[in-house]
Amino acid sequence: MLQEIKALLSPAHPWGQQLVYLDVTDSTNNAAKALARQGAPHGTVVIAGQQTLGRGRMGRSFSSPAGLGLYYSVILRPACPAEALLHLTCAVGLAASDAVAHCTCCTPQLKWANDLIVDGKKLGGILTELSVDARTKKVDYAVIGIGINCLQREQDFPPELRETATSLLLCGAAARPATLAAALTETLRAMSQQLLSEQDALMRDYALRCITVGKEIGVLRAGEVRHARALGVDRDGSLRVRYADGMCECVRSGEVSVRGLYGYL
């Protein structure tokens, strides 16, 4: 797998020397964080063939069966305060969607902030974890985990996900995890170079691919759902919404359900 990915990367890709492949691990984000704490450089990539404790946002698990998905984490060390990286997850979503588009006939849409969507189902997701230096207040490292379902058939998903999850195979756009890993390593590097200098352009592209914009949504907070319309995505990655009572807000975190997706009627 490792040699295959390296062979697919453009010559002299600087991250090619820093690729780590693990047959099995609990979570590539955990492995990448351990490496980051030991001083692993910007652009270190950890890929696993299987995760036994794949993690998603909001404490959820991420189904990670052997050989069927891409389980990928990268360490970035942008020398900036955490507030300058609020759009990071959106930018990664765009890079992941671009990587799928480069190796298949399909371009996933993005459900704010970080689900990859094809045919109204979830193809993958992103889990970003930041460590900030207490003294300088700058980001020490960001570990960005990306999971993409590649070769799963319906029966490969846990029963509770079968209605809402999809894979590239099920979308008629099959790609192998190694091919996708190489494409993602290219698009993520390009993204990391534009992240701070081309924030407006990145976020404009993100908004164009974001399926949430213009839709009726539910904003879930403290166990309560408020209905709203998603108006747009701001340059810091927050979702601009208007509630039924006319009040507007920029939602920065939390859970948003989109009418028509994942069984939300």
One DSSP character per residue, the chain reads: -HHHHHHHSPTT-GGGGGEEEEEEES-HHHHHHHHHHTTPPTTEEEEEEEESS-B-GGG-B----TTTEEEEEEEE---SBGGGGTTHHHHHHHHHHHHHHHHSS---EEETTTEEEETTEEEEEEEEEEEE-TTT-BEEEEEEEEEEE-S--GGGS-GGGTTTB--TTTTT----HHHHHHHHHHHHHHHHHHTTTTHHHHHHHHHHHBTTTTSEEEEEETTEEEEEEEEEE-TTSPEEEEETTS-EEEE-SSEEEETTSTT--
Among 5, 15, 27, 36, binds ligand BTN (CB under 6 A): 27
Site stretch for ligand BTN (CB under 6 A), options 51-59, 101-109, 158-166, 252-260: 51-59
Nearer CB in complex with ligand BTN: 150/241 = 150
Q: How far is the CB of 165 from ligand BTN (least distance, A)?
A: 10
Q: How far is the CB of 177 from ligand BTN (least distance, A)?
A: 11
62 binds ligand BTN (CB under 6 A): yes
Site stretch for ligand BTN (CB under 6 A), options 12-20, 65-73, 212-220, 257-265: 65-73
Q: How far is the CB of 120 from ligand BTN (least distance, A)?
A: 16
Residues that bind ligand BTN (CB under 6 A): 27-29, 51, 54-57, 60, 62, 71-73, 125-127, 145-147
